[in-house]
Each structure stands twice: as structure tokens, then as C-alpha cells.
């Protein structure tokens, strides 16, 4: 059987080469995490609010079929055209067919991790369609031909100097200019033209409401609204897990979402779309793409509660120091490492290992997904499926032998201490000891804890 | 027999794999943390935190005076607020012509003190693009329509409208090195007038 290569570790190595940038990335995300903490602490009922959100999502998943049918029925009554897509290809084809029907050649998109997951942009571009991402961070990475490295802050891996150079090249800003205010203004002017000339707009969906047959899109920039209201056709694409029962439940989620994501009390715009505007056409595409498989797995179905706030990434010590691109999947970080192996077990077998299992992700998750436990569970599933990389597997079985034989463990400890004391350079040689690639081995202790403990025991008890 | 549709396949897979029915929480939401007498103050503080400005006025005439001070009212201005007659702009059918709009004033239905989000719906907005395409936005809101938190707001707003949105400040972004910049794609300023 084919096994996965350690892509995450290799990609992270490339990211870590720029030490200054790595430190900055780490500190910036920790800053956002700290803002999240302050926002959470401002609400005395924060923990109970998380509990409510988690229960609403659990309930919605346990009646997902009913709520999707209700959503579809009400949306149709409202004049929205509803589509169902089993996978990424079907989703992309539905979008393309709508475009063809309207002879649309220029489209504006607001951030949607689902369309990233489905690789919609390259698909449409191949068909000769101009696709413009309008979220500033998304536009930046689109000009760089890169995927987003974070679900809420897509260009978090870049510094303003990179963006200044990029805009100089593409938008004609002054060479060397890196003032965020100036660069944002240039992007505003550039994108305003795209909004005004677009034939069609695509947005994601933060929450769909079965009761009203409508959906909510949250942004700070207003790009989803500007796009959707100006174009003649609006296509909203959502994973089937985004449906919640009632509008009153939005009160719970909207209090959690922005606070968890950026530490804001709420996003600038929380727009409730329910009917197309006169003269416009509105489509809603419901996408499975592996979600029903995830639902059928008791171990992993909780991950479908995710509201895509990014809090787990901001707090993750591995994400902060390896960068989002090292995860080689649309949704990076802890939650992405649960979702991705469900789509392709072999391709993403490395990701559940890109975690310290410290549990910080679980602690900040606004809908109480047991993220680190699911990562741990994935490791076992992947191990049983035989898709874990060979070096890791050898190491694991070695440890299995070692830890299940106390005499061997004691011997190995003694041998190791002797070896490290006698040939210290050998233990730090990266070619022999991969652990030492980015670290120095600690100084070995004089004696083992076991020997020390026995000695102490003797001292006190005679 | 007809081939099963994607819809049927997805729904069948859900029925096959979904967990046993789990109940909704017995109660949804929480009472507000802000007392009735502090609603105005909290709301105004949060508008400022979000990058906008909030002004308490006794009348629409007073609001008009503030607007005349801050904005050039000879530029394209549109007001949907009855009694605040400063409009000199007639929206054309061609939506892209709205791009010249300098200031748009509309009426908010409900304001949330905890986060300064103001609900505006289609009846107040008119053409949906207006609050997003205008360079400057102003919302007039009665202090009587302030509530503590989002749970209370959802009890008051009408979610059966075609379109409605909570607006909580001017458009903003922090996508360039996490530096907060006000005025991304939507309005560059937001002024909320609180009337008695």
C-alpha cells in the first residue's frame, strides 16, 4: 500500500527558513488569539454560550435531512433556485452552467472556503472566465497565484513590504510604498471597477436558516454585499452542514463568530439574504463533498459543527510556527487536519500528526469541537489503514517494543546516557538523529530517575 | 425507474449516517449584561470601538446640522429618512451609476448595545446596494429601539424581509499585516444619530 510522505514537515521547513518572518507570524497570530481572549472574557456567559452553540449544531446535524428539505422548500418559496452537488466537480459544473446560461464572463467572488475546497477558481479560469476575489487578503494571494494560508486572514503569511511590491507590479502603486492605508485605497479603487462591471457574484454562506429559507453572510469589508447587490446573478455556495433551524439561533452564533475569529464584538456586516432583489436571480448550491461520510462517523462528525472562525489556528503552536501553506489543503490548522483526511486519507495522512495534541484548539473552539481528540483518533485510523509515513511507523513500532519491555527500557536508558556523554556530537548529528535537525539534544542526566528514586528511598527508609 | 438524483443520494446518505436525535437547548440566548439605563452609553462606546461615530441629537434638524458640518451636501446625497430632506440624488436604474453617491442616510430599526450592530432592512434601504456603495453612511436610530444583546434583537427584527443586515461600523480590513484600515470596499465612515 502507498504511504503518505511527510509533506507538512517538509513545507514547514521551507517556511521556517525565514526566521524573522516565522517569529512575526507566530507573534501576530498570538496577538489575535489574545484579542479573542479579551472578547470572550467580556461576556460572563461565554462558556454557556459555547455550550448552546454546540448543542444547536448537534441538534441540527441529527436532523440534517429535515432541515435541508425545509431550507430548500422555503428558499424556493422565496424565489431562490436551489441546487444539490455531491462533490466538487458537480459544484463547479453547476456554477459554470449558471454562468453559461447568463453568458457571464466576469465574476466577483467574496471569500468562500467551500469554493477553495472545490478548486472553483482554476476551473472557471480554464473556461475563459475572469474570476476576481474581492476580499482584500484573497485578492492579494490571488495576484500571487497562491491559496489562502488562513481561513479568516488569507494573507497573514505576508508582510506589508511583499504586498507593496505586489501592488506596484499589478496595480501601479508607487515603488517601495508599503503604507497599509495607501495600499488598501489602491485596492479599493481597483476592485470597485471589478464590482461595477461584474456579470455575476459568488459568495459563501456562514449560516443558512431552515425556518426562513434564507442565509447569512458575514464580512468586515462589505465585499460580499457589494458584489451580490450589483450583479444580476448571485450564487451562494454552502456545505450542507451550514444549516441551522431558526433565525433566533443566529443570536448565539453571531455573538461567538467574530469574537472567536478576530476579537471583534461582531463583524461589520451580517447580511441576511432571503429573496432575490427585483430583476435579479439568486442561486443556492448545497454541497456534500464528503460531509455525509463525516456525518456517518461517530468519531469525526463533531467536526461538522465548525463555523470557520479560525480560532483553533490562531492558538495552535504548530500552525503559528509552520504557516498555513504547510498544510497543503484549503482549510489549514487543527480543524483542517480533521477535515482533509476525510476527503483523501492518503494525501492528507500527514496532517493529524502536525499537532502537539496540547488541546488549546479544543479550549477555544466556539462550538466545542473536541479537535485534539479527533486528531488523536485520526492517527489511529491512519495507522490501521497503513497510510502513515514509513519513518514514523518504524519509530512507533520501535517505541512499542521499547515501552512494553521494562528491562529493555532500562538498558536503553543506560546505553543512551553513556552514548550521549561519551560521544555528544554523535547524538546531535542530524543525519543520524532527525530529532536534532532543528534542535540540540539536552545534556544527559548523570543517573536515571528510577535510580535516583531508589536512592532516595534508601536514604529515607534506611 | 429513474436514476436517483444527487439530492436523493445526499439525503439518503444523511439518513443512513446521522446520529440519533439530539435535543435543542431548553432555552436559547441569555439576558443582557447591560442595564436599561446604560444602553445608550454602551452603544455609543461600541460605535466608536468599531470605527464609527455616534451622536445624540434632540431632533432631525440637529442631525442635519451635524451632517452639513461633516459632509459637503452639494455632492450627491440621498436620504431615506422622513423629515431629513437633504436628498439631491435620484438613483438610476443602472446600479453602477450609484457609485457617485457621497452620502446615504437611512433609518435603523434596532440597535444592539453590546456590539453596536444596527439592523436595517429592505424597506429602509430601498435599492440593496446603497449602504455598501455609498462613500459615507449615516443611520438614524431612536434610543427607544436599543436593546442589550443579539438575542433581544432577533426577537424584534423581521427576518421575513427579502434582505436585511446588521451594520456595525464603517467598512474595514486588517488584511495587510494586521493593520486596521477603515474603508475597504463599503462606506468609509459611519455616523449614527441617536434620537430620543
Q: For residue B137, is it within any domain?
A: yes
Q: What angle do CA A393, A293, A385 make, to 5 degrees?
A: 15
pLDDT tens by residue, A414-454: 888 888 888 878 777 777 777 777 778 888 888 889 889 99
Residue pair B146/A128 in contact (Cβ under 8 Å)? The answer is no
- Evaluate the CA torsion angle A198, A204, A210, A212 in order and state its sign: negative
A212-216, B147-151, B174-178: least confident range: B174-178
Backbone angles phi, psi at A415, to 5 degrees: -60, -40
- By DSSP bridging, strand B163-167 and strand B118-121 are antiparallel
Test B128 with A229 for CB contact under 8 angstroms: yes
pLDDT of residue A462: 65
* ipTM of the predicted assembly exceeds 0.85: yes
> What are the cell numbers at A438?
532543528
> What are the cell numbers at B156?
424584534
Q: For residue B32, is it within any domain?
A: no
A5-19, A186-200, B8-22: least confident range: A5-19
> What are the cell numbers at A354?
502536525
Q: Looking at chain A, which residue has its C-alpha nearest residue B175?
A: A137
Q: What angle do CA A152, A155, A159 make, to 5 degrees?
A: 135
A176-190, A384-398, B21-35, B153-167: least confident range: A384-398
d(Cα A314, Cα A360) in Å, to the nearest integer?
10
d(Cα A341, Cα A26) in Å, to the nearest integer?
26
pLDDT tens by residue, A128-158: 999 999 999 999 999 999 999 999 999 999 9
Confidence of residue A5 (pLDDT cuts 50, 70, 90): low
- Mean predicted confidence (pLDDT) in A230-240: 98
> What are the cell numbers at B184?
475597504
Q: What is the CATH number of the domain that holds B143?
A: 3.40.50.10420
Alpha-carbon distance B76 to nearest alpha carbon in chain A (angstroms)? 18
B42-46, B118-122, B159-163: least confident range: B159-163
Residue A323: pLDDT above 80? yes
> What percentage of chain B exceeds 70 in pLDDT?
99
> Could you say which residues from 71 to 110 on chain B have a Cβ atom under 8 Å away from some Cβ of chain A?
95-96, 99
- Evaluate the CA torsion angle A149, A21, A358, A363 in order and state its sign: negative
Helix (H) or strand (E) holding A357: none
pLDDT of residue B1: 62
CA distances from B37 to A87, A363, B113 (A): 53, 35, 11
Which residues constitute the domain of residue B52? Answer: 38-195
Lookup result for grid cell 455609543: B44
Q: Domain A43-158+199-293 class?
A: alpha beta
- By DSSP bridging, strand B77-79 and strand A106-109 are unpaired
Q: For residue B33, is it within any domain?
A: no
Mean model confidence pLDDT for chain B: 96
Q: Counting runs of H as helices and runs of E as strands, what totals does chain B give?
A: 6, 11
Alpha-carbon distance B10 to nearest alpha carbon in chain A (angstroms)? 7
Closest listed residue to residue A293, CA positions, set A342, A330, A331, A337:
A342
Test B10 with A51 for CB contact under 8 angstroms: no
Test the B interface: residue of A165, A219, A220 with most B CBs within 10 Å: A220
Half-sphere exposure of B78 (CA within 13 A, CB side): 24
d(Cα B35, Cα A116) in Å, to the nearest integer?
44
Confidence of residue A3 (pLDDT cuts 50, 70, 90): low
> What percentage of chain A exceeds 90 in pLDDT?
82
Beta-bridged to residue B136, according to DSSP, are: B103, B189
d(Cα A160, Cα A140) in Å, to the nearest integer?
11
Q: For residue B12, is it within any domain?
A: no
- Evaluate the CA torsion angle A169, A173, A176, A180 in order and state its sign: negative
> What are the cell numbers at A382?
491512519
pLDDT of residue A422: 85
Residue A6: pLDDT above 80? no
Q: Count Cβ atoms within 10 A of the Cβ of residue B142 and give its class: 0-12 exposed, 13-18 middle, 19 or more buried.
A: middle
Residue pair A188/A97 in contact (Cβ under 8 Å)? The answer is no
- Mean predicted confidence (pLDDT) in A66-77: 98
Q: For residue B23, is it within any domain?
A: no
d(Cα A304, Cα A292) in Å, to the nearest integer?
10
Q: For residue B101, is it within any domain?
A: yes
pLDDT of residue A1: 40
Closest listed residue to residue B142, CA positions, set B167, B113, B108:
B108
In chain A, what residues touch B18 (CB-CB under 8 Å)? Answer: 61-65, 295-296
- Mean predicted confidence (pLDDT) in A243-261: 98
Domains of chain A, by residue range, sit at: 43-158+199-293, 310-390, 405-461
d(Cα A264, Cα A258) in Å, to the nearest integer?
5
For chain B, the domain total comes to 1
pLDDT of residue A304: 98
Closest listed residue to residue A359, CA positions, set A346, A369, A349:
A369
Residue A56: pLDDT above 90? yes
Amino acid at each position: 500500500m502507498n504511504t503518505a510522505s511527510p509533506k507538512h514537515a517538509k513545507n514547514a521547513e521551507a517556511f521556517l527558513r525565514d526566521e524573522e518572518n516565522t517569529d512575526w507570524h507566530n507573534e501576530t497570530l498570538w496577538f489575535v488569539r489574545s484579542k479573542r481572549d479579551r472578547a470572550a472574557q467580556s461576556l460572563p456567559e461565554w462558556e454557556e454560550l459555547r455550550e448552546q452553540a454546540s448543542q444547536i449544531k448537534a441538534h441540527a446535524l441529527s436532523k440534517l435531512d429535515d432541515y435541508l428539505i425545509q431550507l430548500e422548500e422555503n428558499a424556493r418559496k422565496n424565489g431562490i433556485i436551489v441546487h444539490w452537488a455531491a462533490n466538487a466537480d458537480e459544484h463547479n459544473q453547476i456554477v459554470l452552467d449558471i454562468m453559461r446560461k447568463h453568458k457571464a464572463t466576469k465574476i466577483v467572488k467574496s471569500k468562500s472556503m467551500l469554493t477553495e475546497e472545490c478548486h472553483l477558481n482554476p476551473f472557471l479560469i480554464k473556461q475563459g472566465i475572469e474570476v476576481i476575489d474581492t476580499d482584500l487578503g484573497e485578492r492579494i494571494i490571488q495576484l500571487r497565484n497562491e491559496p489562502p494560508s488562513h481561513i479568516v486572514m488569507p494573507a497573514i503569511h505576508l508582510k506589508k513590504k511583499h504586498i507593496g511590491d505586489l501592488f506596484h507590479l499589478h496595480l501601479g502603486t508607487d515603488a517601495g510604498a508599503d503604507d497599509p492605508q495607501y495600499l488598501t485605497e489602491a485596492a479599493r479603487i481597483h476592485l470597485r471597477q471589478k464590482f461595477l462591471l461584474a456579470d455575476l457574484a459568488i459568495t459563501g454562506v456562514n449560516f443558512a436558516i431552515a425556518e426562513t429559507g434564507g442565509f447569512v453572510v458575514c464580512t468586515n469589508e462589505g465585499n460580499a454585499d457589494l458584489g451580490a447587490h450589483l450583479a444580476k446573478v448571485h450564487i451562494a455556495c454552502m456545505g450542507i452542514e451550514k444549516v441551522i433551524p431558526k433565525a433566533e439561533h443566529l443570536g448565539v452564533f453571531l455573538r461567538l463568530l467574530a469574537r472567536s475569529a478576530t476579537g471583534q464584538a461582531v463583524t461589520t456586516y451580517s447580511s441576511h439574504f432571503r429573496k432575490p432583489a427585483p430583476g435579479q436571480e439568486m442561486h443556492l448550491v448545497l454541497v456534500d463533498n464528503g460531509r455525509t461520510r463525516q456525518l456517518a462517523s461517530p468519531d469525526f462528525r463533531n467536526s461538522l459543527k465548525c463555523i470557520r472562525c479560525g480560532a483553533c489556528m490562531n492558538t495552535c503552536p504548530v500552525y503559528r510556527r509552520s504557516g498555513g501553506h504547510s498544510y497543503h489543503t484549503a482549510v489549514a490548522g487543527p480543524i483542517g487536519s480533521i477535515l482533509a483526511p476525510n476527503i483523501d486519507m492518503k494525501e492528507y495522512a500527514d496532517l493529524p500528526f502536525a499537532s502537539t495534541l496540547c488541546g488549546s484548539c479544543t479550549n477555544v473552539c466556539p462550538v466545542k469541537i473536541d479537535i485534539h481528540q479527533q486528531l488523536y483518533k485520526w492517527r489511529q485510523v491512519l495507522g490501521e489503514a497503513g497510510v502513515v509515513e514509513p519513518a514514523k511507523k518504524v519509530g512507533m513500532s520501535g517505541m512499542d517494543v521499547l515501552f512494553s519491555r521494562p528491562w529493555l527500557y532500562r538498558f536503553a536508558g543506560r546505553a543512551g546516557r553513556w552514548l550521549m556523554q561519551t560521544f555528544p556530537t554523535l547524538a546531535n548529528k542530524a543525519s543520524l538523529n532527525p530529532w536534532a535537525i532543528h534542535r540540540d539534544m539536552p545534556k544527559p542526566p548523570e543517573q536515571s530517575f528510577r535510580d535516583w528514586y531508589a536512592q532516595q528511598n534508601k536514604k529515607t527508609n534506611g | 425507474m429513474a436514476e436517483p438524483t444527487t439530492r436523493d443520494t445526499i439525503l439518503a446518505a444523511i439518513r443512513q449516517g446521522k446520529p440519533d436525535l439530539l435535543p435543542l437547548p431548553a432555552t436559547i440566548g441569555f439576558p443582557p449584561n447591560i442595564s436599561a439605563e446604560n444602553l445608550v452609553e454602551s452603544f455609543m462606546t461600541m460605535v466608536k470601538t468599531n470605527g464609527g461615530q455616534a451622536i445624540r441629537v434632540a431632533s432631525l434638524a440637529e442631525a442635519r446640522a451635524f451632517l452639513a458640518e461633516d459632509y459637503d451636501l452639494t455632492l450627491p446625497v440621498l436620504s431615506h429618512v422622513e423629515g431629513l430632506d437633504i436628498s439631491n440624488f435620484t438613483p438610476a436604474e443602472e446600479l453602477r451609476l450609484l457609485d457617485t453617491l457621497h452620502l446615504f442616510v437611512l433609518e435603523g430599526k434596532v440597535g444592539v448595545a453590546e456590539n453596536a450592530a444596527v439592523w436595517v432592512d429592505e424597506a429602509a434601504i430601498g435599492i440593496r446596494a446603497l449602504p455598501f456603495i455609498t462613500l459615507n453612511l449615516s443611520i438614524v436610530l431612536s434610543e427607544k429601539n436599543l436593546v442589550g444583546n443579539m438575542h433581544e434583537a432577533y426577537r424584534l427584527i423581521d427576518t421575513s424581509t427579502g434582505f436585511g443586515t446588521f451594520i456595525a461600523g464603517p467598512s474595514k480590513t486588517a488584511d495587510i499585516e494586521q493593520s486596521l484600515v477603515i474603508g475597504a470596499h463599503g462606506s468609509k465612515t459611519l455616523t449614527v444619530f441617536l434620537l430620543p
